[in-house]
Amino acid sequence: MNKFILSLSVLFIVLFISGPAFSQDDESMKKWQDYMTPGDIHKMLAKGTGSWKSSATFWMAPGTEPMKSEGTATGEMILGGRYLMSKYSGKIMGMDFEGIAIEGYDNAVKMFMSTWIDNMGTGIMFLEGTWDEANKQITYKGRMVDPMAGNWVDVREVVTYNSDGSTKMEMYGPDPSGKEFKTMEIVFTKQ
């Protein structure tokens, strides 16, 4: 079985490399090179590497008393400086919490991309974002599953890079009527 998978993988690579995406003209090669080369925005994402202390505030519904939580995070650039992988741990409502985020910047479509998984569910949240230079923020928009209703809901996340080196993440989701409200705020301080 392993020999079959290896043979199939090699065949796929040969077909892919010899296909139109890898035509040998200079323009195509330059576009591919630009697509695969980390740039200044990837260096900005690399500021998320290291160990962080997190201070989180959660709201279950608009107007409710917030819940507080402390935790830690570690970030590392992976795959040659192309993606920031962050691992989070702490407690939420007295339960152990773990999560993993992968963030990157797609050079071809000029968009940030982010995924989130954690031990409080079995789904994956997908987000796409744009950079606001004036406010030093990435504003992500995407979708996640609402486990209570069993369907997709729109979410928004704003990540602000503060001048003191801390990072603030704000998450917004729908209330029962579908109106957006702030569900979470986490401030990350470098340790």
Task: Identify the CA nearest to 119 among candidates 144, 88, 84, 77.
Answer: 88
Q: Considering the chain, tell me which residue range(s) the CATH 2.40.128.20 domain(s) occupy.
A: 40-190
The pLDDT of residue 2 is 57
Domain 40-190 grouped into CATH 3.40.50.2300: no
d(CA 139, CA 153): 17
Do residues 31 and 22 lie in contact, with contact meaning Cβ atoms separated by under 8 Å? no
Do residues 113 and 127 lie in contact, with contact meaning Cβ atoms separated by under 8 Å? yes
Beta-sheet strands, E only, within 9-150: 50-58, 67-78, 83-92, 95-106, 111-118, 125-132, 137-146
Q: Is the pLDDT of residue 14 over 80?
A: no
pLDDT digits (tens, 9 = 90+) for 21-60: 555 678 889 989 989 999 999 999 999 999 999 999 999 8
| Percent of the chain at pLDDT exceeding 90 | 73
User: Dihedral through CA 39, CA 139, CA 186, CA 119, nearest 10?
Assistant: -80
Nearest 5°: CA angle at 142, between 140 and 144? Answer: 130
pTM confidence score: 0.83
Q: Are strands 151-161 and 137-146 parallel, antiparallel or unpaired?
A: antiparallel
Q: How confident is the model at residue 146 (pLDDT cuts 50, 70, 90)?
A: confident
d(CA 97, CA 88): 8
